[in-house]
Structure 1
Amino acid sequence: MTATERDRDILARTLWGEARGESLAGQIAVAWTIRNRVNDGKAKSWWGEGYAGVCQKPYQFSCWNRNDPNFAYLSGAKPIPFREFAQAQIAADQVMAGKVSDPTGGATHYYATTMPKPPTWIKDAKQTLTLGRHIFFKDVP
């Protein structure tokens, strides 16, 4: 799949919204969950089409929900701090270009340990990685 400049921008914004307090490695891991959804091999994926479609699929990445405090930044209503966004852009570029391998072992899901309680979908999923404040999973039913 050919990614566009819009895909790069939406992926970087998603990384900022979902993982701005994480290390570059943590943001790369989050980006790989998105890439794994983009490259799921299905002609019409449930996840959405392309990076922008996957990132902005309703209710998949909470930072894009209109009631999320991050949405004002992601939509451009408020400026994203340059230094934080620059790291997210680096992570997006490296993952989209395939310059770094997948540290998540094929994960398509994660959740932040800062959530009050784990989501119910982890029950039958396979945990693949814990990195920073995120726990990654694959084979989510």
Structure 2
Amino acid sequence: MTDPIDIAARTAWGEARGEGTTGMQAVLNVIRNRADHPGWWGHDMASVCQCENQFSCWDAEDPNGPKARAVTDEDPLFRYALSMANKAQAHQLPDVTRGSDSYYATTSARPRWASGRTPQIIIGHHAFYRVGLIGNGL
């Protein structure tokens, strides 16, 4: 996979399809926010999505990985994710995360990086944070 829109859509679908379109949009916002502020997490949408240990749907042991790689545009949520990824690539997707660059599923244990921080917003079962962008004026 090399197409950044396809990779971003698969990431959003794999991470948040259970959270509906707003949840997938939020994941795409995080991807776009990271790509707009290159760093250790990548320099564009594709490299941000594929950065090791960042989006669990790409982890080898995650059951969502094979599903994210196999989904087709016959799935209505994936079609929507593709449309939103196109908008994200063109900087035309509204940011529902208030500039967040990180998130975690609130159904999981709170990660160390979130300790002592207040989320920008909670969308469904995901808490969104601005962690790495604080020093970048956001």
**Relative to structure 1, is the Cα distance of residues 125 and 21 closer, same or farther in structure 2, using a 3 angstrom cutoff?**
same
Q: TM-score, normalised by structure 1?
A: 0.82
Secondary structure, aligned partner of 1:20? helix
CA RMSD of aligned residues (A): 2.0
In the alignment, structure 1 residue 93 sits paired with structure 2 residue 93: no
Residue 131 of structure 2: aligned partner: 139
Alignment of 1:1-141 (within 5 A): 6-40=3-37, 42=38, 45-75=39-69, 78-80=70-72, 82-115=75-108, 117-139=109-131
CA-CA distance at 1:98 after TM superposition: 2.4
User: For residues 84-109 of structure 1, what are the alpha-carbon distances to aligned partners after superposition, in whole Å with 9 as ceiling and x for unaligned?
Assistant: 21121122122222223212121110
In the TM superposition, what is the alpha-carbon distance from 1:25 to its structure 2 partner? 1.9
Q: Percent identity?
A: 39
> What is the one-letter code of the residue matched to 1:13?
R
- Output the CA distance in 2 between the equivalents of 1:125 and 1:93: 31
Aligned positions, number = 131
Q: Distance in 2 between matches of 1:20 and 1:64?
A: 15
Give ranges in structure 1 of 5+ residues lacking alignment.
none
Larger mean CA deviation between 7-16 and 81-90 belongs to: 81-90
Question: TM-score, normalised to structure 2's length?
Answer: 0.84
Return the alpha-carbon distance in structure 1 between the equivalents of residues 25 and 114 of structure 2: 21
Q: Secondary structure at the match of 2:119?
A: strand
Partners of 2:42 and 2:71 in 1: CA distance: 27
CA contact 2:71–2:78 (8 Å) conserved in 1: no
Q: Is the 8 A contact 1:19 1:30 kept in 2?
A: yes
Over 6 Å off, 4+ runs = none
Structure showing the higher helix proportion among its residues: 2
The runs of 5 or more residues in structure 2 that have no matched partner are none
